[in-house]
């Protein structure tokens, strides 16, 4: 019978009858691929691959369902804008309704289309919020909503210029005040364009055309 000391020593010596274990590199690589991505690794990948900051990446890898949803959206739309809208409007809606992202009324595909509609200038951020609310209630595709409700942003320079000229001709006194140095009136003119266009005027184009016409 072996003593306790012998038994203890025995554990440290390999059995001479056992063959050495050799693992092929392919098997090792396959095993690595089958392991789930750790949160810290995923966070670093999101920063590098999607251009997110540390806070954004940290939030979006907090749950697997959230990171999966984001990655599906990011593949089809602007990555940074997708993160902003997810962490803002989408999370606020889910929290308000007591839902998880896995049972969101807005699919990742439809959410990506909404983000791209904003990025392309098809709709403004303000109109996008209206579209978003309709999507929550109906689950419809944003393109369908934008078309059916005539919500597309006005981005035709000629049409915008015509609209702006109409506003400037009706407010000649304010135009004179602006040219005399009262530059705060610029916001008034922008507001009038938005009012006349029903909020559909492209903000960037509106500003550019206004500045050009007010110099004339």
Q: What is the mean pLDDT of the chain?
A: 88
pLDDT digits (tens, 9 = 90+) for 28-60: 566 556 666 777 899 999 999 999 999 999 999
Does 10 score more than 50 pLDDT?
no
**For residue 154, what pLDDT is reported?**
87
Where are the chain's structural domains? 36-148, 157-215
Per cent of the chain over pLDDT 90 is: 69
Helix 108-119 × helix 64-76 angle, to 10°: 40
Neighbours of 185 (CB within 10 A): 18
Neighbours of 203 (CB within 10 A): 16
Does 167 score more than 50 pLDDT?
yes
- Asked if 83 contacts 52 with a C-beta cutoff of 8 angstroms, the reply is yes
- Alpha-helical (H) ranges within the chain are 4-10, 25-34, 39-50, 54-60, 64-76, 79-85, 91-97, 108-119, 125-138, 142-148, 157-170, 172-179, 186-196, 203-215
Does 2 score more than 70 pLDDT?
no
The correct answer on CATH 1.10.10.410 for the domain covering 157-215 is yes
């Amino acid at each position: 019978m072996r003593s306790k000391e012998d038994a203890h020593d025995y554990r440290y010596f390999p059995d001479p009858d056992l063959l050495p274990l050799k693992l092929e590199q392919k098997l090792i690589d396959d095993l690595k691929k089958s392991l789930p991505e750790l949160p810290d690794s995923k966070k670093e990948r999101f920063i590098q691959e999607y251009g997110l900051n540390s806070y954004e990446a940290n939030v979006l890898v907090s749950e697997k369902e959230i990171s999966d949803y984001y990655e599906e959206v990011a593949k089809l739309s602007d990555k940074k804008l997708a993160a902003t809208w997810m962490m803002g409007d989408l999370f606020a809606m889910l929290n308000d309704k007591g839902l998880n992202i896995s049972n969101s009324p807005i699919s990742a595909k439809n959410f990506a289309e909404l983000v791209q509609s904003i990025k392309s200038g098809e709709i403004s951020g303000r109109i996008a919020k209206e579209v978003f609310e309709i999507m929550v209630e109906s689950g419809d595709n944003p393109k369908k909503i934008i078309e059916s409700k005539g919500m597309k942003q006005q981005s035709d320079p000629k049409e915008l210029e015509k609209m702006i000229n109409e506003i400037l001709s009706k407010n000649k006194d304010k135009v004179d005040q602006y040219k005399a140095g009262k530059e705060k009136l610029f916001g008034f003119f922008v507001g009038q364009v938005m009012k006349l266009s029903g909020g559909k005027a492209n903000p960037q184009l509106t500003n550019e055309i206004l500045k050009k016409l007010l110099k004339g």
